[in-house]
Amino acid sequence: MKKLVLLTTIIVLFCSTSFPVFSEQVATRPRDQNEWEVLNQNGNVLGTFKRTEKGNYKFYNTGGGYVGLILDSGTWIPRDARRSYTTITPEDAQLYLDVLEAIKSMR
């Protein structure tokens, strides 16, 4: 019985801590022609993205630094993809997911 209570408590704690991570919604706001800003629920700018001539999207962080290219298929090509190794920061990965969600919501 004690094991069941412990297991249930762990599952409830895990679920309650993981839901806020996945619940944040993003919105887009046009900035220029073929350029949009990605906003979080509080209205803070998370980054920007531009549509290229080929239908892909280049995206940038809040400082204006190039993060990578999102192909029409949704595949991300990071900024350093041509090196022998590629490192991706958690912030860049989260920005990619936010931009991908914003692009899907626009279609």
Token pair recorded at residue 2: 């004690």
Whole-prediction pTM: 0.69
DSSP code per residue over the chain: -HHHHHHHHHHHHHHHHHHHHH----EEEEEETTEEEEE-TTS-EEEEEEE-TTS-EEEE-TT--EEEEE-TTS-EEETTTTSSS----HHHHHHHHHHHHHHHHH-
Q: Confidence class of residue 19 from pLDDT cuts 50, 70 and 90?
A: very low
Across residues 83-89, what is the average pLDDT?
81
Overall average pLDDT of the 87-103 stretch: 88
